[in-house]
Structure 1
Amino acid sequence: MLRNLCLALALVAALLGLAPAEARSLPVVAPRMACADLARMVLADPAAPGRVETATVVGDKGAAPYCEVKGYVAPQVRFELHLPMRSWTQRLMFLGCGGFCGVVRLGPPRAAEGCRPLDAGEFALVTSDLGHVAGGIMDAVWAADRQAREDFGHRGVHVVTLAAKEIVRRFYGEPPAYAYFNGCSDGGREGVMAAARYPADFDAVIAGAPVVNLIANHTLFHAWALQHLRRPDGSFVFNDAALGQLHQAALDACDTDGGDPRDGVIPDPSRCAFDPGRLACGAAPCLSAEQVAVARAIYGGARDERGRPLYFGYPVGTELGWNRQAASVARWGAGSSAGYLASDPPDPNAELATLRFTAAAVRKLYAHADSFNITDPDLAAFQRRGGKLILWQGWADFNVASMSGVTLWKAIRARSGAGADGFVRLYMLPGVAHCGGGDGPDRTDLMSAIIAWREDGQPPRSITASRRGADGSLLATRTVEPYR
């Protein structure tokens, strides 16, 4: 009786927003067959024909053992699936990949700090290379092939999810009770794309920093910054000292917006009224006319030859990372997004450093947008099935435009109408960079929140984000409310 009373009080507290929602335990289901018996299994689902190639038990030194399954879905969508040997509680999670994928890497889930069922090894976990092998930084030559584009764009997650569900059913004798998706960056895009195109695949999706408009983000967004921050001779417009001055001026202008405490973090850059012109020579500190013009262009975002906006700019508060990001993007070179994801036919000589911002040139970039972009945020079918979606992003993200996440959330709400609050949330994390890092608290447990929402009907409210040092010590916390 006491245990039931405690559970009831905890539920009331969660519903009132007095305590964070927690993922409840589900019964453990044991395997019905040996791990090794999965090896060489032919997958029977006609929508996801494939084969298991290897199946090996992994886990020692006290770790929860699991059956490591590797295989592929035709034509060449490779996957890796981890099946708990003693602790599976009927949940499956697909972990999205980042960048342009091209490698099977089953890493730790994002936004799941302290999620008890996950830490206890209770999930079956799966990931994929999404149908191609990529070599080097943001290699996109594989996108010359139509099938590879479709597999990366949307099909790969779908067919691997079908394959994983079939293997789980055979291994444990029953299908997953719940299927989740968790990814950031391109992984965030993959999750929203799955909810839109294949609404029956997942019961709930966590999508961090989703690359909603992959074409614009990986061409216009990065090319505009690169071409402004780096001169034609390769030198940079700003040195570190000048960027430090600019960053400090931005903090002085906006750190305490809306009554936020002075903590070196801008709470909402979209509401920050900061003009770098206040640092023009004649003031102290001082920026050159070139530097002021470039900073304004970076904040303002790409524009065409008539000055019409094409895409978002970098958020105010990201200045210290500008040169580092430009140097990274410059290394993409030929064979990346401009020449393959955004060219038809492929152009092996195209580079972001020479991309043009005319209206005519921009139209050509969208030749393959239907495969890669979330062009229609219609999640009605996902919503009707009881699906839940949590979007999250750092306000200081200059790898994927932070305003793209806000724009997606607004578009989903506009499409869904009055019922939007029943299935979608957005959390914008102040000072947080791309999928983590930055100056703001970046660690959250959205995983427990979405489990409690989907399985127990406890909608998430405020969340606590934390920042830790290299030694694990707690440096800062921040309460983050759902975006409004």
Structure 2
Amino acid sequence: MLAASRALRNTRRPKRPTSGRSIACLITAFVLTLTIAMPFGANATNSNSNTNANSTGLANLPAVMPAMNCAAVMSMDLSGVTDGTVTITSATALPAGAVVGKNTLPAPVCDVKGTIGPGASLFELQLPTQGWTQRYLQAGCGGLCGNLSVNAPMASTCVPVTNGQIAMAATDMGHEGGNDGSWALSAQAKIDFAYRGEHATAQVAKAIINKFYARPAKYSYFDGCSDGGREALMEAQRFPDDFDGIAAGAPANDLIVQNTFHHAWPAVINVDPKTGKYILLASKLPLIHAAALKACDSLDGVTDGVIDNPRACHFDPSTLLCAKGQDASTCLSPAEVGIVRAIHDGATDSNGVHLEQTISREWGGELNWSLFVPVTDAGPSGSINFVLPFLAYLDYFNGSKPSATLSDLKFTIEGFMKTVPTSNYLAATDPDLSPFARRGGKLILWHGLEDQHITPEGTIEYYEQMKNVMGSDKADQFTRLYLFPGVAHCGGGEGPNTFDIVTSVMAWAETGTKPGKIVASIIDSTGQTTRTRPVFPYPAVARYTGSGSTDDAANFVANTPNSEPYVNPHWIGEWLYSPGYEAWCQAQGSLLNCKGGNNWSDYRKISTHAGDSGK
């Protein structure tokens, strides 16, 4: 298997298409205190030598006023900016305090909306009109997208964002309608969702910025979580010139496996084949969670309701096995014990071959298992909502099966190989980011360790493969991984779950300030901060100094374990995390025509051998 993996890593990457007339981001600086506003239409002074950092590590950059009024955006000529026709449908001046979606604008903007052909991609771009500090931030989209959301959740204290000094945009990725999947009957919509939508939006947004302010953005950034994290990695892998810094949270990088075997497993394994009823119910989750904490909470030296390093936790659910005569509400039946263990370990075939990473859900996140563990034995499991749309419409290059059921998914090696071929255009698991690194791009990966949707192991595997393929020293020059204890999918959870990733990305890209600790907070319903904790770049973890409040980040230091807890790295899809598998697709009428990437038969051979070592 190792020899086969090395062979894959040595294959040549498919030639990347050019990014059209995308605007290159120049290296200069940013000022947190705005310079005096200039008259309408005038140009601010630009000094490329003004690269000294301020207290946040960001570069000092003068603010710029628009070179035209908002209404004039409607008449912009955007021909040739991307590979499709661009139509601006509205350009509206909005005041500070206006509510757009779920966001309240901190400063006035010119809100631009439009479409990008040849499909029906919608985009929205918000351009500050009272002082733009020459940055652009593109927001990723979660789930199967299908909506516009100009939002930056991982920028809670990022001054350009909170002050409204940054241009921001988002796209619906080629369709409306979200998670029902029927939009994927359009071949072009599939391509836009897979990788083109975010790229085309970046090209268009930067072109509009260049015209509106009479200068390009100095720095461009991408912030996304969940599928937005996949989009972030897709940008770094396929379009390395689009962004200077990227924040990829809880990335759904292995989208096909996640939306089939990963989400289907806790539903399938939890049904009694004789009665058709669910066995493990949500009422038992607090019991399981308390037992896991009892076993592993104190491993880090602090008992605080959070397991800091679940990979070091060896919780055995059989400790909850009911004794004779014990109240069933206080313990687990043998069947329930087996289901708990299976949910943690992840999907396998009947011989124990792993069909996903070898830890599917980490210990400590059991309260979040209500996503897929139903309240009553009639069900259903909530995870079915993620599986069925994918099986019906996205698990095909051409064709669909609207009547798909869970029984169509076969938990076998053969079933795996029939399910994952669309990885070659939908997945974002290529670990060779050499082009992105060469142009100075910076990447921060992060994941919550209580994630109920996407296993943190997939992000860890991607990071480790990046180091294997590119070399640890080279990877360390442009990427970091943060694992947040007690944080659920893209936020929430039992641990400190409010933090700012975007400022760290910006500071690294602009002034070379390498990311160190990121302080995460718990903020209660009244807005008061009740706990802060530092999170350090993986593999370091926070350790209590032994004095002071354990709710204060100042009383923790970084500690790098001598060795990471052993986790079996072998599973049937390990080869997906290898360079060169990507195909590039075109829509030919209603059909998807994809070319490039390695020969799929080679992967089939490798997968068969991987299964041998994955038991």
**1:425-449 Cα distance to aligned partner (Å, 9 max, x none):** 0100001000000001011112111
Deviates more, 1:387-396 or 1:142-151: 142-151
3-state SS of paired residue (2:481): strand
Letter in 2 for 1:99: G
Q: 1:340 aligns with which of 375, 393, 418?
A: 393
Letter in 1 for 2:89: E
**1:260-286 Cα distance to aligned partner (Å, 9 max, x none):** x10110111122111111111229752
Alignment length, in residue pairs? 463
CA distance in 1, matches of 2:394, 2:299: 39
Superposition deviation, residue 314 in structure 1: 1.3
Superposition deviation, residue 230 in structure 1: 4.4
Matched residue, 1:209:
250
CA contact (8 A) 2:139 2:149 kept: no
Q: 2:456 aligns with which of 402, 405, 417?
A: 402
Matched residue, 1:77:
121
**1:446-475 Cα distance to aligned partner (Å, 9 max, x none):** 211111111001101111110111221112
Letter in 2 for 1:439: E
CA contact (8 A) 1:206 1:391 kept: yes
CA contact (8 A) 1:229 1:323 kept: no
Percent identity of equivalent pairs: 40
Letter in 1 for 2:91: A
Task: Report 1:454-465 matches (<5 A).
Answer: 454-465=509-520
Q: Which has the larger radius of gyration?
A: 2
Matched residue, 1:7:
none
Matched residue, 2:169:
126
Deviates more, 1:443-452 or 1:194-203: 443-452
Matched residue, 1:254:
296
Q: 2:149 aligns with which of 93, 105, 110?
A: 105
Matched residue, 2:264:
223
1:290 is aligned to 2:325? no
Superposition deviation, residue 332 in structure 1: 4.8
CA distance in 2, matches of 1:234, 1:389: 46
Shift in CA distance, 139/42, structure 1 to aligned 2, threshold 3 Å = farther
3-state SS of paired residue (2:252): coil
Letter in 1 for 2:156: E
CA distance in 1, matches of 2:525, 2:268: 35
Letter in 1 for 2:94: V
Superposition deviation, residue 412 in structure 1: 1.4
Matched residue, 2:192:
151
Task: Tell me the TM-score normalized by structure 2.
Answer: 0.72
CA distance in 1, matches of 2:96, 2:217: 26
**1:133-178 Cα distance to aligned partner (Å, 9 max, x none):** 125xx22122233221111111111111000011001100011000
CA distance in 2, matches of 1:295, 1:268: 19
Task: Tell me the TM-score normalized by structure 1.
Answer: 0.91
CA distance in 1, matches of 2:410, 2:490: 29
**1:239-276 Cα distance to aligned partner (Å, 9 max, x none):** 344222211111011112243x1011011112211111
1:350 is aligned to 2:404? yes
CA distance in 1, matches of 2:306, 2:202: 39
Superposition deviation, residue 235 in structure 1: 4.1
Matched residue, 2:65:
30
Superposition deviation, residue 220 in structure 1: 0.5
Matched residue, 1:314:
361
Matched residue, 1:5:
none
The structure where helix makes up a greater share of residues is 1
CA distance in 1, matches of 2:205, 2:339: 49
**1:186-245 Cα distance to aligned partner (Å, 9 max, x none):** 001101110110000000000000011000001110000111234466643223442222
CA distance in 1, matches of 2:304, 2:266: 27
Matched residue, 2:50:
none
CA distance in 2, matches of 1:323, 1:376: 32
Letter in 2 for 1:304: D
Task: Report 1:389-468 matches (<5 A).
Answer: 389-417=443-471, 418-468=473-523
**1:10-31 Cα distance to aligned partner (Å, 9 max, x none):** xxxxx9xxx9844344111111
**1:316-348 Cα distance to aligned partner (Å, 9 max, x none):** 1122222333432234574x0122222353211
Matched residue, 2:92:
56
3-state SS of paired residue (1:158): helix
CA distance in 1, matches of 2:333, 2:426: 40
**1:39-75 Cα distance to aligned partner (Å, 9 max, x none):** 1534123534312111010014594110000001112
